[in-house]
Structure 1
Amino acid sequence: MSPLVLASVGPDFGAVGGSSQLRAIVGALLTFGLIVSVLMVIISAAAWAVGSSNGSWQIASKGKTGLFVALGGAVLTGGALAWANWLLDVGATL
C-alpha cells in the first residue's frame, strides 16, 4: 500500500487583488463615521447642558439620550475598524 499523501488544497487569495484598496476605503468610511460621532457628542452635550441650565427637562433628556447614542456609535465605529483590519489580516494568511 502507498502512504497517505496529504494534499494542500485551498483558495488562492493572491489571485484576488485589491485588499489594499479595500482597507483604504474601509478606513476612510470609518474615519468619517468617527468624525460624525464626535460632532454629535459635542452637540448633544451642549444641548444637555443648555436644557439643564434653563430648567427644560425635555431638552436635557433628549441631549442625554443623544449623547449616549453618539458615544455608542463612536465605540461601535472604532470597534468596527479594528475588526475589519483583523479580518483583512486573517484573510491574507488563509
Structure 2
Amino acid sequence: MAAQIAPMADPGISPNEDGLPGLPVVRNIVGALLTWGLVACVAGLVVSVIVWAVAHQQGNYSHASSGKTGVIVAAGGALLIGGANAIVTFFSGLGSAI
C-alpha cells in the first residue's frame, strides 16, 4: 500500500520588523557583542604573537606551536565575527529557497 504524500502548503510566515518590541535594542546589544568579540580577537592575536616570538627565541618549540595555533584561532575568530552578518544572510537566503 503506497502512502499518499500531501502537498506542502506555504504558511505565509516571513521575518518582519514589527513582530516584537525592542528590536532596535537587541540590534544594539548584538552589535556591541560583535565589537567585544573583535576586541577579544585582537587581544588574543597580540598575546599569541608574543608567546610565539618569545618561545621561538628561547627554543621552546612546543609553546611556539601553541602561539601559532593562537594566531590562527584569533584570525579565524575575527573572520567569522566580521562575516557573521553575511554568513547568516547567505544561509537565510538558502533556507528560503528550500
Question: TM-score higher than 0.5 here?
Answer: yes
The CA RMSD measured in Å over matched residues stands at 2.4
- Cα contact 1:48–1:63 (8 A) shared by 2: yes
Are residues 22 and 63 of structure 1, via their aligned partners in 2, closer, same or farther at CA, if it must alter by over 3 Å? same
Out of 66, 71, 84, the position equivalent to 1:62 is: 66
Q: Compute the displacement of 1:77 (Å).
A: 0.8
Out of 22, 26, 37, the position equivalent to 1:18 is: 22
| 1:14-57 superposed Cα distances (whole Å, 9 cap, x missing partner) | 35332211210110111111111100000000000001111110
Residue 48 in 1 paired to residue 48 in 2? no
TM-score by length of 2: 0.67
Unaligned runs of 5+ in 2: 1-11, 91-98
Structure having the larger proportion of residues in helix: 1
Unaligned runs of 5+ in 1: 1-8, 88-94
Give aligned pairs, total. 79
* More RCO (CA 8 Å, sep 6+): 1
TM-score by length of 1: 0.70
Q: Percent identity?
A: 42
SS of equivalent to 1:17: coil
Query: Counterpart of 2:23 in structure 1: which amino acid?
Result: S
The residue aligned with 1:74 is 78
In 2, distance between residues paired with 1:40 and 1:12?
36
The residue aligned with 1:92 is none
Q: Would you identify which runs of 4 or more consecutive aligned residues in structure 1 move more than 4 Å?
A: 9-12, 81-84
Q: Compute the displacement of 1:80 (Å).
A: 1.3
SS of equivalent to 2:21: coil
